[in-house]
Each structure stands twice: as structure tokens, then as C-alpha cells.
Amino acid sequence: MSRSILVITGWWFLLLVMAIEGLGVNWGTMALCGTDTDTRISIRRIRIRGYGSFPNNPIRGYMDVDFEEENLRSLQIEEDEGPIRPSSRIRRRIRIESEVSRPNTAQLADTPRIPMANHKLPPKTVVQLLKDNGINKVKLFDADQSTLSALAGSGIEVMIAIPNNQLSAMNSYARAKDVVRRNVSRYNFDGGVTIKYVAVGNEPFLTSYNNSFLNTTFPALANIQNALNEAGLGDSIKATVPLNADVYGSPETNPVPSAGRFRPDILPQMTQIVQFLAKNKAPFTINIYPFLSLYANEHFPVDYAFFDGVATPILDNTIQYTNVFDANFDTLVSSLKAVGLGDMEIIVGEVGWPTDGDRNANTNYALRFYRGLLPRLASNKGTPLRPGYIEVYLFGLLDEDIKSIAPGNFERHWGIFKYDGQPKFPMDLSGQLQDKYLVGARDVTYLPKKWCMMRPDAKDLSKLGDNINFACTFADCTPLEYGSSCNTLDANGNASYAFNMYFQALGQKDTACGFQGLAMVTETNISQGNCNFMIQIATTSSSTRLTLLFGLTLLLLSLSLL
């Protein structure tokens, strides 16, 4: 038998799967039948994914199924690297393509059909959260004015960003100068924002982007840095490009860090970028995710993702590598050395561990990861090829309930704080292992203590699948993922979780807990064990934008956090 991943799209099948999964059915063997197919597979694991938005755009739904193949004679097998970061390992997929159309909303007439509300902590609350925990450097994912205004006068050092969809515009020097003027120069005053870096794009060379930003990234980088130089800011503010770790690797014939090289297909662009960074004394920024190495390959040794030792280290000449972080980082060092810049400064722009949405994404593993990482940062141990201090940003600060889950359901759960700014687990940012809970966000206002649940006396369960699917289209149901915090709920629990998430996302509107007579409002907390049925944050304005602080990373400096 061979292990693979089956990826199936199609509205009719997605509804069926989500309905059955929502009812908590234990899968055994299932037959996929069609005009050209009569395939029997033994289901091992199911992972539901979807992205898109109603009502104007279709939903693309995916079901990932771990299975034992018996006969797949008429389905096409393709190699798909997908959006996995940072591993460049190829996953086998079988794909049946179709587009997911809008559900029959006429049958859901009692359920509000509006986009999911964004309930966010006010920027000032988040900035105070950073200060209360001694976090003095942050990385943002754009340059939102409300966020930067809240950071003004805080003394917190900031990396702002230019999103990938603006790289093409930054190929115009006039546009680049305007961005520097609006997002950098205007905050450069006593009591303003301490901007240290401008991130030009975010992982623009991911293989899943199909070279979309291949020829626009370097011109954008050059124009931003030159605009900073022209504004008299270039000595203190540097432009950099946060890159994914799939821009380099070692050959299969010699898979060790010392053999690291940049990907041949982007070698000219990478060489151009690193030479420009070196010329302007700017750092190389890399995102490293041990979790994704584990997520992408079920045969990946679990202990190698952490820092507490492995039975069989990777031997590279005389160096023993006991964790993937060191090996990945040193593969980059070797890649830089191969283009003549082995001493270039390197910043780790993102590293972290999610706490939900996958069987390996949980608080126990996250705590284990940080208990290994933070003391290493505090000790300035570095890596075998780059001993000493390394600047590292943790990803991320808060969970993100509307982030795309195309890479995986875990994408919404990277925060060391929950959605409401409350700590998830004890951790010591100083790296001294004096574990205690971080200081939570102050004065958070919640909606009333009301939940939406499935009616115990519900009769017509034929509508349940459509309603669960509808709720999860607009709300976050990723904790129902296999191995996640709410995976053990029964059929009623699954439905109640989906209904409540939708109810909370829409601000507890009375009409948001109908679901064709299947749901009711209760004032009794229906949380079960580790599965929390949330009460959403109350917001004073739905137009408040805090994208950056919901996509925030924090830099941990061992000395500054003591």
C-alpha cells in the first residue's frame, strides 16, 4: 500500500463531506464512483479546507484525505509543491477539478448572508499589550495608518511592509518615493515611529506563486532603498525582502547544510538581490518554519523539529545537526557563501508554532518549541556555521480568524495570544525558563454571554449539512480539524460549534442563530473540555482596520526582555 493525499474539489462532494464530517462520523472505507472511475480507498484522515468569499466570488473547497490506495486507475496523479513553507518537499496529490458555486441561499433565507465581521482589538490595546510584556520590536505586514499612529511615541522598533500586490507599482520610482514619504518620512520625528526596516513583499518567490513576482521584486527593492537614501533615511532605515526557505536547498545527492545553494531557477534574481542588500548594508531576511517541515511530510522525525535532541543527528562533515532550524539556517549561510556573501547579516523574519487546526498544531508542541528556542536565543548560541547573536522574530502575536487557510487550517492559530489578547500558555520571553503566563490585553470588552447551539429537539436533520457548511464559510471552524481542540465533539457539538462561530462573527445578531430552525440561543456556556465556544470581542466600529496587528510578529531580544 502507498500513502498519498487525495484532494477533491466540487460543490456536491464538498457539501457531502462537510455534512458527514460535521456529524462526527468515523470514516472507514468509501467508494468514489463516476463515469470513468470506480475507486475504493480506506480513509485514514480527513482535512477540510476552503477559501473565497460569497456572494460575489465562488468558494474553492478542498478535502485532503489520507488514504490507502487500492485502485486509482482513471485519476491523474500530479506533483504539486503547493503553498507549503519552508519545505520544498513535493507532495503527491490526486486532483479532480471543479468550481464551488454559491449554495442555495433561498433555502437559508433565515440566515444573514453578509461577510464575516472582523472583531479586532483596538490598536492602542495591542500596543499596550506589547509594552506590558517588554516586547520592543515588531514586524508588520503593511503600513496601516491607524496601527502606526498607535505605535507613535511607544519606543517600539518597527518593520513596516509593502505587500506583494504592490510590488509592480513600486517598479515606478515616483510611486516608491511617494510610499516612502507617506509611510516612512511622515513618522520620522521625535515622538514618532521608530521604523528600522521596510519589508518589500513577503515571500515573493514562493514556488506556489508561479513566478508572479519574479521580475518585479528586485526593482521594487531597489526603488524603495534608493528612495530612502534620497530622503536622507538610508543610513538608519533599510529595505529588505522577507523570503521563504524554499529559495534555497541542498541537492538530493548531498542533502546537508554545507551543500546549500539558491534554487537554480531564481539564482540570477537572488544573486542580484543579495548583492544589492550587501551594497546598502541591509540584512537578508528569511522565514523558517520547523512546523511546516513536519506538516508537509508525515515521515519527518518529530524530534528534529524541536531543540531537545534527536537519536540520530544529521552529520555534515564534523558537524552534527540535531534540529531542523539550525540545519535550515546554515543551508542559507552556505547558499550566501556560494555567491560570495557568506558573512551577510541574516534576520529570521518569522518562526513559530501554531496551536490548533492540525494534529501537530497544539499547545503542548508549541510550548515545547518555545522552551527550546527562547533559551537558545538568550544564550546567543547561534548555529554551527553562524555562532553568536541572531535576530529572530516570532510569528505571531494574535490568532487571525479570517486568514486564508489555503496552506492549512493551522494558519489561523500562530499567535502566542488568543484572538482577544489573552495568553495561551506560560512562557518566558527572556529565555530563562521561568514559565509564567504573559500579561494579557487590558480592558477587553466582550459581547454578552450568549451562545448559539443546535436545538436538542431539532427534527429535520436533512438541512444540517447545508447549514453547517454555510456557517463555516463565513466563520472559523478550523478547531474542528482532525486532531484539533474540538475534534472530539459529537454530532450536536460539531453543529453547535459551527453555529456559534457564525453567531459570534456576526455580532450575535438575533437573525444569526436561526439556521432553518436547527439552532437556538442559550446563556449557558456550552464549551466542552479543551474546546472553547468563544464569546467574541465587542467592537465600536466595524471599519476599524488592524490588519497588521492581527498579522503581527514580535522580535525577542534576550537582553531587552530581561
pLDDT tens per residue across span 458-508 = 988 999 999 999 999 999 999 999 999 999 999 999 999 999 999 999 999
Residue 114: the pLDDT is 33
Q: Are residues 259 and 159 in the same domain?
A: yes
Measuring CA to CA, how many Å separate 60 from each of 8, 11, 51, 57, 316? 10, 9, 5, 9, 43
Decide if 345 is catalytic. no
Within a domain: 504? no
H/E stretch holding 467: helix 464-474
Average pLDDT value for the chain = 81
Angstrom distances, CA of residue 117 to CA of 22, 248, 521:
23, 39, 19
Strands 242-244 and 248-249: unpaired
Domain that holds residue 149: 123-442+545-555
Q: How far apart are CA 201 and CA 166, in angstroms?
A: 8
User: Is 449 a member of any domain?
Assistant: no
Q: Which of 45, 73, 102 marks a domain boundary?
A: 102
Q: Which of 205, 160, 121 is nearest to 349 (CA)?
A: 160
**Same structural domain for residues 193 and 81?**
no
Same domain, 63 and 197: no
SS3 track for 73-88: CCCCEEEECCCCCCCC
Q: Are both 92 and 132 inside the same structural domain? A: no
Helices (H) and strands (E) in the chain, counts: 12, 21
- The percent of residues in the chain predicted with pLDDT above 90, rounded, is 71
pTM over 0.85: no
Q: Are 199 and 159 in contact (CB under 8 A)?
A: yes
Give the separation between CA 528 and CA 523, rounded to whole angstroms.
Answer: 15
Listed range (95-104, 297-306, 378-387) with the worst mean pLDDT: 95-104
Structural domain includes residue 522: no
Cβ atoms of 365 and 424 within 8 Å: the answer is: no
221 and 316: one domain? yes
Grid cell digits, residue 121: 482589538
Same domain? For 79 and 225 the reply is no
- How many structural domains comprise the chain? 2
* CA separation for the pair 3, 298 (Å, rounded): 10
Query: Does the residue 487 lie in any domain?
Result: no
Q: What is the CA radius of gyration of the chain?
A: 24
Confidence of residue 332 (pLDDT cuts 50, 70, 90): very high
**Any catalytic annotation for residue 97?**
no
Residue pair 366/424 in contact by the 8 Å Cβ criterion = yes
Q: Is the dihedral of CA 63, 551, 371, 441 positive or negative?
A: negative
| CA angle, 184 then 185 then 191, to 5° | 90
Catalytic-labelled residue, pool 203, 400, 411, 481 = 203
Q: Are 491 and 545 in contact (CB under 8 A)?
A: no
Residue 358 β-bridge partners: 361
pLDDT in tens, 252-294: 999 999 999 999 999 999 999 999 999 999 999 999 999 999 9
What residues are paired with 314 via a beta bridge? 321
The DSSP result for 5-62, as a single string, is EEEE--HHHHHHHHHHHHTTPPP-EEEEE-SS-EEEEEEEEEEEEEEE-TTTSPEEEE
Q: Band of the pLDDT at 91, cuts 50, 70, 90?
A: very low
